Amino acid sequence: MTIAEHLVMVTLMLLRRYPEYAEIIRRHEWKNNLPLRSIKDSRVTIVGTGDIGTRYAERIQSFQPAAIVGVSRTGRKRSPVYDEAVKQEELEAYLPKTDILVLCLPGTKETTNMISRERLAMLPDDAFVINVGRGNSIDQAALVEALNTGHLAGAALDVMAKEPIPEGDPLWTAKNIILTPHCSGKMTLAYTRDKSVAMFCEDLEHFVKQAPLEHAVKRELGY
């Protein structure tokens, strides 16, 4: 729940031009006429349709997006909240039609650099990129370049290729970016702690009874 709410927060911040307004205020200026955008009628592509991606999709559905497309390894439609569910191999066909690209991927060999320079170039010039999965799923240098040249409208990253971000890294000063220090899923929310304990206790009971585990990690897949 906590990461899904973080995703909603940064989605709205990007659409309502928060990075630019924050810079305007930092300069002690008063300018309030930047054109805003909305989740309504936006085309949202969520790469990684596990618990995080699906909880986010459920929350933004009430904002009436034009479409919510879920992209996963299997292409299975995990929830009716997705208008379409496709395999990762089909991602490139959807990038040119994406307004908001959200990444909720695990860190595996298959997901490394999944959003490459070439795939970033396929996005529309006014698209946004949000990542709460793993920092190695995006070509970070290409993302910075796309932001600074105006190819992308903005980005929000809670995960980076190197953490902490090295001093002098161009990511710090990229245009229209929201950076958070890998904090979206920390155990600071009471609900998250309680849910984690409940899931552990549930599977501990299953383990004792030699029943199938509900929340087991599939080591061969890496998540």
Catalytic residues: 134, 182
Residue written as tokens 């990542």?
A: 131
Dump the DSSP string for 47-113.
Answer: E--SHHHHHHHHHHGGG--SEEEEEESS-----TT-SEEEEGGGHHHHGGG-SEEEE-----TTTTT
Instruction: Report d(CA 145, CA 168) in Å as an integer.
Output: 15
Which residue in 190, 22, 200, 51 sits closest to 132, CA to CA?
51
Instruction: Report d(CA 24, CA 153) in Å as an integer.
Output: 17
Tell me how far CA of residue 67 lies from CA of 46, 76, 87, in angstroms. 11, 17, 17
Which residue in 132, 137, 65, 76 sits closest to 99, CA to CA?
65
In the numeric block, which tokens belong to residue 210?
């030699």
